[in-house]
Amino acid sequence: MTAEKQYVVKGAAVLGGEPTDLLLRDGVIAEMGRGLSAVGAEVVDAAGLVALPGLVDLHTHLREPGREDAETVETGTLAAAMGGFTAVHAMANTDPVADTAGVVEQVWRLGREAGHCDVIPVGAVTVGLAGERLAELGAMADSAARVRVFSDDGKCVSDAVLMRRALEYVKAFDGVVAQHAQEPRLTEDAQMNEGELSGRLGLRGWPAVAEEAIIARDCLLAAHVGSRLHVCHVSTAGSVEIVRWAKAKGWDVTAEACPHHLLLTDELAATYDPIYKVNPPLRSAADVEALRAGLADGTIDVVATDHAPHPHEDKDCEWQTAAFGMIGLETALPIVQQTMVDTGLLDWAGVAQRMSAMPARIGRLTDHGRPLAAGEPAHVVLYDPAASYVVDPAETVSLSRNTPYAGRELPGRVVATFLRGRPTVLDGKPA
């Protein structure tokens, strides 16, 4: 048997602090300090680079099984590694839906075979995402995939009784229901954020209250049954206030914000370019500021990508008929740098908390989101915050090209990603 390769990372600024060497051996960080060396180890020059723990995404769409024309587990997890992620939660709205132990185990095994990052399947809350009866929550929890996060993402569990039952059920195995907060009757044929602009453009408005009403209801339900609730892709200032209120009550409620909601506004809909069509929609500048403030003060617990690949034909069409969603795994960290770090709202330790430690904690992952310390799993990202680049969709490793950042200059670059001490990305390229 060939011994596993060792790496000495030289002079990385751990969480933005003093330059430190890291020896990666046997899947763990074997040593940390200055002047480290090891016989036969490959040296990685990390001078000027920030070292972060491997990022964890709570909200990724890998599309396989069923829509391999948009993304596969292989291509999606490679995109994740290029973005600095060592674990992703794969949403359940595949075809077939991940609502049984068989399907979640299939996705889990595909992730292990690809090997670019760990894939943790999210189980559906209801059979077929139909919102009529609970899926096999217990069987998925007991499966080899050990599902702990359940979501009908893409659809809201709008039936209050069903949502209550789901929250009660997952308590048995310390699971969490991740709600896609969208009141269906208030968003029928909705296309963009409701406001003066939607009226002027002739696009059906998507009111903030459609999101906020569901979040308020679910916070009350979670408190009533004493269960864990996670709110997906929060997009409005009112939603931030409701989550802040629930946390102040001591209720077990967590929430995520997406990079695109931290940067882009509904003004982009004026282009009628469906690349900016996303669910929930891009909101106002005031909403963006509220999300940033909420992420900074911990009201919003994590950044999640909602990476949603679509083939060309599903986005290159009229706004009204285009699919909702945009890709985001490879650009998440640069956007967080631009909106949160470069603005002084977060330091790198704060980024590590919101993009690694907290999402791992919510997903009950014990092997990810760990500190960068001797003896800990060697999930490490090396990031150059001084770099910059212009986004070229043709350069993404995702199978789809629906990025809203084409032609936009973003700061930073992921230089290397290590999964259990094995590089999945080196010199900014797949290893």
63 belongs to an annotated ligand binding site = yes
What CA–CA distances, in Å, run from 65 to 91, 107, 178, 210, 397? 11, 8, 21, 31, 19
What CA–CA distances, in Å, run from 270 to 86, 200, 282, 401, 406? 37, 9, 12, 21, 17
180 belongs to an annotated ligand binding site = yes
Distance from the Cα of residue 409 to its chain's centroid: 22
How many residues appear in the chain?
431
325 belongs to an annotated ligand binding site = yes
Q: Which residues lie across from 50 on neighbouring strands?
A: 13, 383
3-state secondary structure of 21: strand
Answer whether 394's CB lies under 8 Å from 382's CB.
no
233 belongs to an annotated ligand binding site = yes
Cβ neighbours of residue 336 closer than 8 Å, sequence gap 6 or more: 259, 262, 303, 346, 351, 355
Backbone phi and psi for residue 55, each to the nearest 5 degrees, phi listed first: -75, 150
What does 154-204 look like in DSSP terms, one character per residue? TS----HHHHHHHHHHHGGGT-EEEE----TGGGTT--EE-SHHHHHHT--
116 belongs to an annotated ligand binding site = no
- Estimate the crossing angle of helix 208-225 against helix 237-248, to 10 degrees: 10
93 belongs to an annotated ligand binding site = yes
Query: Smallest Cα–Cα separation from 53: which of 382, 427, 295?
Result: 382
62 belongs to an annotated ligand binding site = yes
The sign of the dihedral angle between the CA atoms of 96, 98, 103, 109 is positive
279 belongs to an annotated ligand binding site = yes
Active site residues: 306
260 belongs to an annotated ligand binding site = no
Q: What's the Rg (C-alpha) of the chain?
A: 21
- Token pair 């969603």 in the structure block, residue: 325
> Measured between alpha carbons, how far is 306 from 324 in angstroms, rounded to an integer?
11
Answer whether 359's CB lies under 8 Å from 304's CB.
yes
Q: Which residues lie across from 418 on neighbouring strands?
A: 380, 423
Residues in the annotated binding site: 59, 61-63, 93, 153, 180, 233, 279, 306, 310, 324-325
Residues in the annotated binding site for substrate: 61-63, 93, 279, 310, 324-325
Residues in the annotated binding site for Zn(2+): 59, 61, 153, 180, 233, 306
